[in-house]
């Protein structure tokens, strides 16, 4: 037991529960909350006040979550674009190609995971006249947009801008698909 209920001066249950851990003594509204105070939410063993899980318990959860994610993901055998492996490299886990990631592992002496995540292309987030209109309408007087000149010229300029920048893409991790690092199996 990590908690006891405090009593009122008339020796009745107060509805307040106190954590019994050394150097804590925090009060909680329920027995459950007080029992969990100063206890790791994973292994149930004592933990420093204010901490939720032991770092090694958190790691266990992360490792399991990653394994589950990979298990559920669609398995690819080839991939010729960016890939992702969390915590690796100097581009926040992103690598231009599978070979790039393999070279990194070799260079750093890291154990190559069997599967790594692929990425999806994020098209250039086009400029839009609606955003501009919203800004003007929220700052201006009522129906200000109707009084604006040069709207069709602006529209044309935005269209040109979007066309010119249509080739700009970025890549974000696709947690639903993984590719084998061992080539075609
Ligand atoms: Zn406590
Ligand atoms: Zn723990």
Residues facing 28 on adjacent strands: 17
Q: Which residues of the chain have pLDDT under 50?
A: 185
CA dihedral 65, 66, 68, 73 (to 10 degrees): 140
Q: Which tens digits make up the pLDDT trace of 8-24?
A: 999 999 999 999 988 89
Q: Which ligand is nearest to the CA of 47?
A: 2
Query: Nearest-5° angle of CA 81, CA 86, CA 87?
Result: 120
Q: Which ligand is nearest to the CA of 38?
A: 1
Q: Do 106 and 172 share a structural domain? A: yes
Q: Do 153 and 80 share a structural domain? A: no
Q: Which ligand is nearest to the CA of 60?
A: 2
CA dihedral 101, 104, 108, 109 (to 10 degrees): 50
Q: Could you tell me the CA-to-CA distances from 106 to 99, 103, 113 in Å, in that order?
A: 10, 5, 12
For position 1, what pLDDT does the model report?
Answer: 67
For position 28, what pLDDT does the model report?
Answer: 94
How far apart are the CA of 47 and the centre of ligand 1, in A? Answer: 9
CB contact at 8 A, 154 and 162 = no
Task: Give the structural domain span for 174.
Answer: 73-124+168-180
Q: Do 99 and 21 share a structural domain? A: no
How far apart are the CA of 43 and the centre of ligand 2, in A? Answer: 4
Residue with tokens 């770092």: 55
Q: Do 151 and 109 share a structural domain? A: no
User: What's the rounded Cα separation, in Å, for the pair 171 and 7?
Assistant: 59
How far apart are the CA of 61 and the centre of ligand 1, in A? Answer: 23
Q: Do 174 and 92 share a structural domain? A: yes
In the chain, what is the greatest distance between 2 CA atoms, to the nearest angstrom? 81
How far apart are the CA of 185 and the centre of ligand 1, in A? Answer: 52
For position 185, what pLDDT does the model report?
Answer: 44
pTM of the full structure: 0.67
User: What's the rounded Cα separation, in Å, for the pair 35 and 22?
Assistant: 13
For position 49, what pLDDT does the model report?
Answer: 81
The number of domains in the chain is: 3
């Amino acid at each position: 037991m990590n908690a006891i209920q405090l009593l009122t001066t008339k020796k009745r249950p107060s509805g307040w529960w106190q954590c019994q851990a050394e150097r804590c003594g925090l009060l909680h509204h329920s027995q459950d909350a007080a029992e969990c105070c100063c206890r790791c939410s994973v292994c149930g063993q004592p933990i420093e006040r204010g901490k939720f899980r032991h770092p090694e318990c958190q790691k266990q959860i992360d490792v399991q979550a990653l394994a589950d994610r990979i298990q559920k993901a669609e398995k690819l055998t080839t991939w010729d674009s960016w890939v992702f492996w969390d915590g690796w490299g100097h581009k926040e886990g992103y690598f231009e190609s599978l070979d790039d990631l393999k070279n990194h592992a070799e260079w750093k002496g890291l154990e190559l995971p069997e599967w790594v995540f692929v990425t999806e292309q994020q098209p250039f987030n086009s400029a839009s006249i609606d955003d501009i209109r919203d800004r003007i309408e929220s700052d201006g007087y009522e129906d200000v947009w109707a009084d604006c000149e040069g709207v069709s010229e602006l529209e044309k300029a935005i269209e040109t801008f979007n066309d010119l920048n249509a080739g700009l893409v970025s890549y974000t991790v696709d947690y639903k698909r993984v590719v084998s690092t061992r080539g075609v199996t």
